[in-house]
Amino acid sequence: MAAGGDVIRFAEIYHQVRFPQALALLHQWRGGTPLLHEVASFYRLQLHRHAEAVAYLHHRGLRSPELIEHMRIGYAPGGCLRGWLTRLGYTLPNLHQAGLVPAVGYDTYMHRIVFPLEGNLYGRSLSAMAPPHRFLPGAKGGLYLWEPVRQSPEVILVEGLFDYAALWQAGFHNVTCGMGNHLNAHQFRQLCDGRARTVYVTFDADRNGSGQQAAQVLAGRLREEGLNACRVSLPEGHDPNSFFVQGGDARQFQSLLEAARP
């Protein structure tokens, strides 16, 4: 992050241009990259420019710079993405087609923490007045950051990206996320790829029981495919993120894993 910012500042000073023009020059120097990569990079630059975004991450227990770099977390302030991308040469039809700018012309992602996905972007609203979750049109992709954990003999599966973040920050790097408690066909095949593994299904302990019911169904399907699948029981009303935010630690979560049952 700091190195990228230094390069941009150098371009601003050397060419005597402002921030958007400096980014456009850097884009030309390094060659074109896919649109979503450009968007994710832009949002990452915005994160530490906006105190409200950093405060929200801290409120959700996310404080580790290593975690923020690992997940490539960014922030969409709204009102600036369209202008920046058009300066890089992208046309409005490009942005409409990608779902980044609707027909009325404003940014699709406004006041949202942004996580790059496999061919998509997830945005979590800072405001209670807006829908909490937003994806671009299209599939949500496979399991989140699956490649680093696919060879692990034990995998922790959670619902949400903030759950993933809390566990990864606590040292559980064998975690992945389905972005919901119903896996799509691609995600299910990723878990059932022929490797012997234990899957700890760690879904939300919703007061209405929906998360644990979904965990029971999924664990049963995984066992039918020959995997060892266990359900992790969190305290009632908690998800993995709130478990750590409310004072849980790695040792206590490890105890929950050890107590998991089919």
Residues 128 and 216 in one domain: no
pLDDT interval class at 4 (50, 70, 90): very low
Which pLDDT score is estimated for 32?
Answer: 34
Which pLDDT score is estimated for 26?
Answer: 52
- What is the rounded CA–CA span in Å between residue 207 and residue 87? 49
- What is the rounded CA–CA span in Å between residue 203 and residue 221? 15
pLDDT digits 0-9 by tens, 243-253: 999 999 999 99
Which pLDDT score is estimated for 178?
Answer: 96
Q: Is the pLDDT of residue 13 over 70?
A: no
pLDDT digits 0-9 by tens, 92-119: 888 988 899 987 778 999 999 999 998 8
Which pLDDT score is estimated for 118?
Answer: 87
Q: Of 76, 108, 135, which residue constitutes the final position of a domain? A: 135
Q: Of 81, 106, 135, which residue constitutes the final position of a domain? A: 135
* Mean pLDDT computed over every residue of the chain: 89
Asked whether residue 105 is assigned to any structural domain, the reply reads yes
Residues 189 and 119 in one domain: no
Q: Is the pLDDT of residue 71 over 60?
A: yes
Q: What's the predicted TM-score (pTM) here?
A: 0.86
Which pLDDT score is estimated for 139?
Answer: 82
Asked whether residue 56 is assigned to any structural domain, the reply reads yes
Task: Name the nearest CA neighbour of 150 among 179, 116, 133, 174.
Answer: 174
Residues 187 and 100 in one domain: no
Asked whether residue 164 is assigned to any structural domain, the reply reads yes
Tokens (6 digits) for 239: 């998800």
Q: In terms of residue numbers, what domain contains 204? A: 154-258
Maximum CA extent, the chain: 63
CATH assignment of the domain containing 61 = 3.90.980.10
How many distinct structural domains can be found in the chain? Answer: 2
Asked if 11 and 26 count as a contact pair (C-beta separation under 8 A), the reply is yes
Residues 125 and 215 in one domain: no
pLDDT digits 0-9 by tens, 15-62: 565 665 555 555 544 433 588 999 999 999 999 999 999 999 999 999
Tokens (6 digits) for 86: 């058009």
- What is the rounded CA–CA span in Å between residue 155 and residue 164? 12
Which pLDDT score is estimated for 93?
Answer: 87
Residues 180 and 125 in one domain: no
CATH assignment of the domain containing 216 = 3.40.1360.10
DSSP state of 52: H
Which pLDDT score is estimated for 2?
Answer: 39
Q: Is the pLDDT of residue 12 over 90?
A: no
Task: Name the nearest CA neighbour of 8 among 31, 39, 29, 37.
Answer: 29
The residues, any chain, with a CB within 8 Å of residue 249's CB and separated by 6 or more, are 170
Stated as kind and residue range, the H or E segment containing 75 is: strand 74-76
Residues 166 and 100 in one domain: no
Asked whether residue 18 is assigned to any structural domain, the reply reads no
